[in-house]
Structure 1
Amino acid sequence: MGAKGFPSLTNYKRFFVVLFAVLVVSIIAILIGLVNVFTRGFYSIDSSYESLNLNELDRIQEVMVPSDTVVSSGPFPKCSYYDCFNIYKCGHKGSSNILVYVYPLKKYINEKGAPIGSQMSKEFYTLLDTIVKSRYYTPNPEEACVFVVSIDTLNQNRFKTKETSQALALLPYWHNGDNHIVFNMISGVAPDFNTVVDLALGNAIVAGAGFDTWTYRIGFDISIPVFSPLSNNIKQHNYKRKWLVISSQLNIHPEYTAELMEIAANNPKLLVLEACDGEINSTLRCSGDKRTYHYPHILQRGEFCLVMRGARLSQPSLIDAMAAGCIPIVSADTIVMPFADVLDWRRAAIMLGEADLGSLMTVAEAVPLEKRLEMSEQCKWLYSKYFSSMETITMTTLDILNDRVYPQNAKVYEDWNNQPLKTPMKSPLFLEVTSPKWQGFTAVVLTYDRVDSLFGLIQKLVKVNSLSKVLVIWNNQRKSPPHFSLWPKVSKPLKVIQTKANKLSNRFYPYEEIETEAILTIDDDIVMLTADELEFGYEVWREFPDRIVGFPSRVHVWDNVTNRWKYESEWTNQISMVLTGAAFHHKYWSYMYTTSMPGNIKEWVDEHMNCEDIAMNFLVANVTNKAPIKVTPRKKFKCPECVNNEMLSADLNHMIERSNCIDRFATIYGRMPLRSVEFRADPVLYRDTFPEKLKWFNNIGSL
């Protein structure tokens, strides 16, 4: 009787089984949906975009360009990387490579149905194909950092400038040329022959040949060569180089040709070649005595090849000469050499002013034989590395652009200019790693008798977290250091060393008490630096342990009046030295300074009580070929408590001596190793109005 009022247990079981089945099916459906979402989100960004297919040139879509299309302005002559390039388009995928998008191929026609340009050239096809196959390519324009137009603009003679400018403006991502790069090798038309392509490019980067110093926007445009297919015909042979100089260009101005003929009449070591009568053959040249020579093979018989301006500044004969190992003598005023931002042309070519053409043979004969061999080898290597094909030219252009966008991964001078087996060995002390922080640094304080200033400095130094030890170099032999009971009571180890002679070089002696890699050399009157400034300076040094990193900076300049180097202490944007009155350096440099300083520099410094900091800058720059690094904006380093006559730098003759030092040291080294840069390292958020707890270094100080 009691069981009749309750539902059957079977009904409950059926309900829960159905509910469980519904839940399982729902969970499976949700999981499948999530998988699809994540798959599309992480892996299918590019799957909806097809890579550019260059094998379907016969099925290219036609696009009509309206005659009233508004074009961009420009190119703007004041464009720079910081003004006209949108860096925020780059780096979205977390890689260290720029992503380059190439527009789909289109055939652009005007309103009358006529094409605005000629059929795509083989060179431009190769250029696009190289980009598409490179590590930089992306088919997705939304993630692209750089855009390459697929309109063939290599030769201005082969397209209509107005209609092409309008076609560029129609590109969906053009936006006044932002982050676009336009390739051009032959710019300008008669009679002006402008040195930059006559297109309305807005903010676009021009990778062009034939720039002059007036039209080239340093750090923004990229100077490329005029590709020469004839250079590939040269086979390397060790021919005896019969002529000292060969001139083989066909488009030289008649006045220059007449001057060369006059020089050749009196000097059989100069071979002047011209076009052969009645021949239209780019591989034949004829001399004044009607002898025929095969071009460019004849260039292998010359030690130097003259490259002059023709109707346009840049000439393919430059590439032909390099392929033949014939050292170019470039006589084209204001020319910007190919890839001049990264290549050191002083190692592979001689620059000769157009007005100095009469001294051509004298200049060539003055180059020593050993130097000629080095330059010839450098020419052949540069050609094979950067100029031998459209592929190498294209990839070099993209590599340069990539280094601008990601400077932290950029190749250094040696990577661009040194042949593989001729790169100098790097010291294991300076591997490309950050110096360990746990060691800290040793502060080496050079002092004489300014006790109050010294004690104040020590009390400030011990506030720096990374300080490991304070080493005081007491440079006064007439007076003993204060009794140990008078020294400040500090929490870091403190050691005093009294030297046997009053020498400025004592600050760089590799004392056995120095157990850290990093050394902070600091004068006893540099009491204005804060703990945050010193800590930040040490952090910067850890990233660049092979350089001098410090606070007071100076620059060297050439005085055209005296024809001597000059020491300059005025505040400028350029620096080439960081004074060791407050600077970090690796203890290796102290060892080098003490044991391996060239000539009698060390003895001269000790005798004259001046320029030990300049000598250290010369030493480091000569070995590394790198500039020092100035940190923080502070530029005033005068001791507020010190009397002027206590300071060496207060003497007027001090500045004159320092100029003499630079000139003397450059003579001893046989070159000027110092490198000038416009660079300063400041903490992140230094000038931003953020709460102090968000900043790692708050007390950076002022000027």
Structure 2
Amino acid sequence: MQARKKYVLLGLCACCWLVLFYCGGGAQLRLLRLLTRHRSEVVRPWPNWTDRAFLPRYAHLDELQTDPGTAESPRQRRQAWSAIYKDSHCRMETCFDFSRCRRRGREGFRVYIYPSEKNDRISESYRKILTSIAESRYYTSDPREACLFVLGIDTLDRDQLSGQFVPNVDERIQGYPLWNDGRNHLIFNLYSGTWPNYTEDLGFDIGQAILAKASLNTEHFRAGFDVSIPLFSKDHPQKGGERGWLERNSVPPRRKYLLMFKGKRYLTGIGSDTRNALHHIHNGKDIVSLTTCRHGKDWEKHKDARCDHDNLEYERFDYQELLHNSTFCLVPRGRRLGSFRFLESLQAACIPVLLSNGWELPFSDVIQWNQAVIEGDERLLLQVPSTVRAVGNERVLALRQRTQMLWEAYFSSVDKIVLTTLEIIKDRVFSHVSRNKYMWNFLPGGLLVLPEYSTHLAHFPFYYLGLGVSPGQEFTAVINAVSPLVSQSQPIMKLLQVVSKSKYCSQIIILWNSEKPLPSRSKWPPMPVPLTVTDGRRKVRMILITSYFLFWVILVFCHFLCLNAFLALFKYVHYICSSF
């Protein structure tokens, strides 16, 4: 009976709930739909501020100008890149013919330069690049021996508005019988694209060629294939170059100014966003950030309210004085990602603070740039002052020392830039016998450490201190032979016999620099140690560097020999040089 009453009571409750839902539930459902409606469908009126008259007025939406330099979307840039560089996924394994380079072992790495036509216009910078290659140990005049090919056409400046622009490059390179869609070709470029977007358009299809380019974007950089090079001016020295300035300003580690920048301010176009904001960090005391609008033909047309003040402030400071007396140098992007001030900062031991998002730094495959520069973000400009203030004195000195090492090893001349590019490619071709990053990033640098000698760090005296290795007592005797080999009684024969009897001698190397042909192996006496005779005429210009070479040989021997053995060897070297 009680169960029956219970079921009747539940039924009445259910009926009452249905009646209530039918009468008033429609409004609740409409409210539920309104709350769950998509945000974009909800109309939100603009608030009516009561204190609107007291708020500062900014530009109205209709007054804002569209920046032509930022009109391209990332997708459009990728599509443009794909249309220009059809082999954007090239790697050494897929787009390079190794067989051309390995015919004679590591000696097979030869570079051929296509001859230029009579009426070709070649810029001073490209002429320096071609000269550096032609004077290197890798150059060959026979294309059949070549592993790598370099165009005789100037491809450095691909800005169509430039006077150095060379037209019809695509048609000309397609006519080269060895072009082969660019395989095993090396193309140099400093400037690409034109106003307003300055894309990486070279104006011709590079195919499967290796691109050695300045201002390379990380998005388009083919890692392990392309080579990022620095942007350098036409006045950059062909050889040698000035040394860095750290030795003159080493103590104290911090200079008069903490951070400096002095350069152009772009009023419109790509790169203007970064340059227009630099005045925000200027305090006129330890941070000096100066810009000027006075450049270009129509700067007055785009002149804004801040230009006059900026131009006056700009003239108050000397650029060289700021450069030499600043701890950090701001290196923002310009129209392109790279700029000349990057190399200027390295030479001046002014630690570069980079504001160039997406820039693939020069020789990034081998150089550890985090030990020489501070990488900032264009979007976080206001954090730069606090970032550089937080860098301790020990790190400041370490960063400045590394800038000097990199400048003198790889960037002080066009020769070093070009040879570094070739050595990086050579290490990729012969990856089993290549330099490691330690060799590239510590003195004396990768250009002076040949992997043909050894790939083991402990075999080089340069790295003893860093590795904690003690030098051994054995030495390698290097003899420079200039006079022809006539009889067994010549001084060089006596020298060989005496030196080879030393218990410290591990091997003997003879550099043959005589005008006479290299003698056969049977002409040399039997030795208790390995004897290597190499044709020095093909390796180096010995007449110019003999004294320099012998000086460094003696210094290296100092690490290996005891004093008596060193003095004895010095007498023999002096004797053989005087006899020649």
**TM-score per shorter chain, which class?**
0.5 to 0.7
Please report how far the alpha carbon of residue 388 of structure 1 lies from its aligned counterpart in structure 2 after TM superposition. 1.2
Please report how far the alpha carbon of residue 251 of structure 1 lies from its aligned counterpart in structure 2 after TM superposition. 5.1
Pick the aligned partner of 1:206 from 192, 196, 211.
211
1:260-659, aligned counterparts within 5 Å? Answer: 260-265=278-283, 268-275=285-292, 289-420=313-444, 424-426=465-467
Relative contact order: is structure 1 or structure 2 higher (C-alpha 8 Å, sep ≥ 6)?
2
1:43-442, aligned counterparts within 5 Å? Answer: 74-96=85-107, 98-107=109-118, 119-157=121-159, 158=163, 163-195=168-200, 197-228=202-233, 236=245, 237-238=248-249, 241-250=255-264, 253-265=271-283, 268-275=285-292, 289-420=313-444, 424-426=465-467
- Equivalent-residue separation in structure 1 for 2:344 and 2:470 (angstroms): 42
- Equivalent-residue separation in structure 2 for 1:287 and 1:381 (angstroms): 36
Q: Which amino acid aligns with 1:192?
A: N
- Whether the 8 Å CA contact 1:272–1:287 is kept in 2: the answer is no
Please report how far the alpha carbon of residue 295 of structure 1 lies from its aligned counterpart in structure 2 after TM superposition. 3.5
Structure 1: give runs of 5+ residues left out of the alignment: 1-71, 109-114, 281-285, 432-703
- Equivalent-residue separation in structure 2 for 1:196 and 1:419 (angstroms): 37
Aligned residues: 345
- Whether the 8 Å CA contact 2:156–2:191 is kept in 1: the answer is yes
- Equivalent-residue separation in structure 2 for 1:289 and 1:350 (angstroms): 27
Q: Which amino acid aligns with 1:289?
A: E
- Equivalent-residue separation in structure 1 for 2:124 and 2:261 (angstroms): 29
Cα separation, partners in 2 of 1:129 and 1:419, compared to 1, 3 Å: same
Please report how far the alpha carbon of residue 186 of structure 1 lies from its aligned counterpart in structure 2 after TM superposition. 1.1
Counterpart of 1:106 in 2: which secondary structure?
Answer: coil
Structure 2 equivalent of residue 56 of structure 1: none
Q: Which amino acid aligns with 1:317?
A: R
- Equivalent-residue separation in structure 2 for 1:168 and 1:333 (angstroms): 33
Counterpart of 1:187 in 2: which secondary structure?
Answer: coil
State TM-score, norm by structure 2: 0.55
Cα separation, partners in 2 of 1:94 and 1:260, compared to 1, 3 Å: closer
- Equivalent-residue separation in structure 2 for 1:148 and 1:311 (angstroms): 28
RMSD of aligned residue pairs (Cα, Å) = 2.9
Q: Which amino acid aligns with 1:202?
A: G
- Map Cα deviations across residues 52-97 of structure 1 (whole Å, 9 max, x no partner): xxxxxxxxxxxxxxxxxxxx97451111111101111112123345
Please report how far the alpha carbon of residue 249 of structure 1 lies from its aligned counterpart in structure 2 after TM superposition. 3.1
Structure 2 equivalent of residue 668 of structure 1: none
Cα separation, partners in 2 of 1:90 and 1:416, compared to 1, 3 Å: same
Cα separation, partners in 2 of 1:429 and 1:374, compared to 1, 3 Å: closer
State TM-score, norm by structure 1: 0.46
Q: Which amino acid aligns with 1:261?
A: H
- Equivalent-residue separation in structure 2 for 1:227 and 1:423 (angstroms): 35
Percent identity between the two aligned chains: 30
Please report how far the alpha carbon of residue 334 of structure 1 lies from its aligned counterpart in structure 2 after TM superposition. 1.2
- Equivalent-residue separation in structure 2 for 1:201 and 1:311 (angstroms): 23
- Whether the 8 Å CA contact 2:333–2:356 is kept in 1: the answer is yes
- Whether the 8 Å CA contact 2:218–2:359 is kept in 1: the answer is yes
- Whether the 8 Å CA contact 1:153–1:182 is kept in 2: the answer is yes
The answer to which structure has the higher helix fraction is: 2
Please report how far the alpha carbon of residue 198 of structure 1 lies from its aligned counterpart in structure 2 after TM superposition. 3.3
Structure 2: give runs of 5+ residues left out of the alignment: 1-82, 298-309, 445-461, 473-580
Cα separation, partners in 2 of 1:151 and 1:251, compared to 1, 3 Å: farther
- Equivalent-residue separation in structure 2 for 1:241 and 1:153 (angstroms): 41
Please report how far the alpha carbon of residue 196 of structure 1 lies from its aligned counterpart in structure 2 after TM superposition. 5.4
Q: Which amino acid aligns with 1:269?
A: D
- Equivalent-residue separation in structure 2 for 1:273 and 1:136 (angstroms): 45
